[in-house]
A = this chain, B = another copy of it.
Amino acid sequence: MARTTLSGFPEWTPAGRIVEQQVLDHVRRTFELHGFAGIETRAVEPLEELMRKGETSKEVYVLRRLQEEGTSAESELGLHFDLTIPFARYVLDNAHHLAFPFKRYQIQKAWRGERPQAGRFREFTQADIDVVGQDTLPFVFEVEVAIVMAEALAGIPGVEVMMGVNNRKLSQGFYEAVGLTDVDGTLRIVDKLAKIGPAAVTELLEEELGATAAQASAALRLAGIRGTTASEVVAQVRELCATSEQLEEGLDELARLLDAASAAIPGRIQADLSIARGLDYYTGTVYEATIRGQESYGSVCAGGRYDSLVVDGRRTFPGVGLSLGISRLMSFVLGKGLASATRPVPTAVLVAVTDDAQRAESEEVARQLRSRGIATEVSPTASKFGRQIRYADRRSIPYVWFPESGEVKDIRSGEQVAAEPGGWTPPEADLRPRVVMGSEANE
């Protein structure tokens, strides 16, 4: 049978997986340090739940049991295409168990049947954080999720990720103040700015929405505003001489976010007033992060404030959340060799076996090393020591232990020293595989 990889379904080598696993560990630890609880939801949702957002319905993978031909009494199931819709459903299912505001993180795979391209997969891992309140949710959580996610992004090796923020109230209030009354239409067109450029945006605003040249120009000037401090952003918005209650509220929120961000994690979060986010359920802060110097690779993390995504007729759970595209980022980092693992195995030590009758002694050395957190294997064969050393070398294990002489050898330098299994520890740099920049490592 011909073996071909499936386009859009990435798999990493063991060394690549070590890099990804360390990223996932860092991300999880960051989320937990800020009080986010981990949950997992099932991979499938009823199709009607997934299709509440009509525009993505084409991307859904629908499930069918092989032996089940034709229609069935069960409702159709599809694989989830993000972690937001399942989370919204989980909150409604479990509302009586949960304490609000409920802060959760969720690191899982998602699937989309769309055409694969660079950084766009059919199967991908997402790491999401969201906070949902019952009935109300203080603005301060819009600040918190940005800072938590920026800290998570700061731990991705080999790239610098910059988070851009905007505020829907600011954009919407501005559009209304300058007479662009089709606010959703304007957002949808401005969202294309990075892809199609300012001339095409102007044309669309004029042709599709009947905007005047002055209105289109005002929308573009707003979208051109950038800044890392509240004062510079506020000054630029003031220059546009538009005002409305909603604009002021959005500008004030954006300024508060920038103030808090520059104190907590300087240089990682900036205002970018071109960020619109296509999804129509956002109502406050919107976020979009890109790799610095690689903006054309597109967004690697995005989200926003939503007021009415999680509702069941009786109750409303406003929320704010961000979704980090782990596979998108790892594909970039690993594909370009920007980071790698110092070795492809967890093992630090191979304990040699002198002869098969003495295997138990080698096992005892290994047991003692493992009890102190040192990943250890025992040689599968009692071949000549030279062959056992080559075995370790082939598997990229840095140390070989000789129980009979009570010595341990660094097989890279050749240095061999006396050692006690109850006391010896490898240097910190060799204890576990480490993630290093570039592809200096042993694969």
Interface residues of A, Cβ cutoff 8 Å to B? 1, 3, 5-6, 9-14, 17-18, 21, 32-44, 46-49, 57-68, 77-79, 89-90, 92-94, 97-99, 101, 103-104, 109, 111, 113, 123, 138, 140-141, 144, 260, 263-264, 312, 344-347, 359-360, 363, 367, 370, 373-378, 380-381, 394-397, 443
B13 touching A113 by the CB < 8 A rule? no
B17 touching A40 by the CB < 8 A rule? yes
B14 touching A38 by the CB < 8 A rule? yes
Select one of B39, B375, B377 contacting A14, CB under 8 A: B39
A37 vs chain B, min Cβ distance (A): 4
Q: Which 5 A-B residue pairs are closest in the complex by CB-CB distance?
A: A65-B113, A35-B347, A9-B42, A35-B377, A32-B346
- Name the B residues within 8 Å of A40 (CB-CB): 11-12, 17
A64 touching B61 by the CB < 8 A rule? yes
Select one of B35, B111, B375 contacting A34, CB under 8 A: B375
Residue of B nearest to A7 (CB): B74
- If A42-B6, A380-B141 touch, whether A78 touches B66 (CB-CB below 8 Å) is yes
- Name the B residues within 8 Å of A395 (CB-CB): 99
Residue of B nearest to A313 (CB): B1
B123 touching A14 by the CB < 8 A rule? no
The SS class assigned to the A binding surface is mixed
A367 touching B264 by the CB < 8 A rule? yes
- Report the bound CA distance from A5 to B376 in whole Å: 44
B346 touching A44 by the CB < 8 A rule? no
A79 vs chain B, min Cβ distance (A): 7
- Report the bound CA distance from A138 to B312 in whole Å: 59
- Report the bound CA distance from A104 to B103 in whole Å: 34
Residue of B nearest to A138 (CB): B380
Select one of B68, B260, B394 contacting A99, CB under 8 A: B394
B33 touching A66 by the CB < 8 A rule? no
B38 touching A17 by the CB < 8 A rule? yes
B34 touching A377 by the CB < 8 A rule? yes
A43 touching B109 by the CB < 8 A rule? yes
A44 touching B123 by the CB < 8 A rule? yes
- Report the bound CA distance from A12 to B250 in whole Å: 38
- Report the bound CA distance from A393 to B68 in whole Å: 50
- Report the bound CA distance from A163 to B79 in whole Å: 35
Counting chain B CB atoms within 10 Å of each CB, the highest count among A58, A60, A63, A367 belongs to: A63
A25 vs chain B, min Cβ distance (A): 10
- Name the B residues within 8 Å of A67 (CB-CB): 57-58, 113
A439 vs chain B, min Cβ distance (A): 14
A50 vs chain B, min Cβ distance (A): 9
- Report the bound CA distance from A14 to B93 in whole Å: 13
Q: A32-B375, A62-B66 are in contact. List 9 more A-B contacts (CB 8 A).
A: A1-B312, A9-B42, A14-B38, A37-B346, A43-B109, A58-B66, A60-B65, A62-B63, A63-B63
- Name the B residues within 8 Å of A101 (CB-CB): 380
B93 touching A35 by the CB < 8 A rule? no
A421 vs chain B, min Cβ distance (A): 14
A to B CB contacts below 8 Å, 20 in the list: A3-B312, A6-B42, A6-B77, A9-B44, A11-B93, A17-B38, A21-B38, A34-B376, A35-B375, A35-B376, A43-B111, A59-B65, A61-B66, A64-B64, A68-B113, A99-B396, A140-B359, A260-B360, A260-B363, A264-B367
- Name the B residues within 8 Å of A370 (CB-CB): 33-34
- Report the bound CA distance from A5 to B94 in whole Å: 10
- Name the B residues within 8 Å of A5 (CB-CB): 93
- Report the bound CA distance from A46 to B1 in whole Å: 11
B346 touching A35 by the CB < 8 A rule? yes
- Name the B residues within 8 Å of A346 (CB-CB): 32-33, 35-37
- Report the bound CA distance from A156 to B78 in whole Å: 32
- Report the bound CA distance from A66 to B79 in whole Å: 11
- Report the bound CA distance from A101 to B391 in whole Å: 9
A140 touching B380 by the CB < 8 A rule? yes
- Report the bound CA distance from A344 to B38 in whole Å: 9
- If A33-B376, A375-B33 touch, whether A39 touches B63 (CB-CB below 8 Å) is no
- Name the B residues within 8 Å of A113 (CB-CB): 63, 65-68
Residue of B nearest to A97 (CB): B13
